[in-house]
Amino acid sequence: MKKDKTDKEMAQPTKGLLKRFLSYYKPHKKLFFLDMLASFLISAIGLSYPIITRTI
pLDDT tens sequence across 3-56: 666 666 666 768 888 888 888 888 999 998 999 999 999 999 999 988 888 876
Residue 48: per-residue pLDDT: 92
In a domain, 2, yes or no: no
Question: What is the count of structural domains for the chain?
Answer: 1
Residue 44: per-residue pLDDT: 94
CA distance 21 to 10: 16
CA distance 27 to 24: 7
Residue 49: per-residue pLDDT: 87
Q: State the pTM of this model.
A: 0.55
Residue 15: per-residue pLDDT: 83
Residue 28: per-residue pLDDT: 92
Domain encompassing residue 40: 20-55
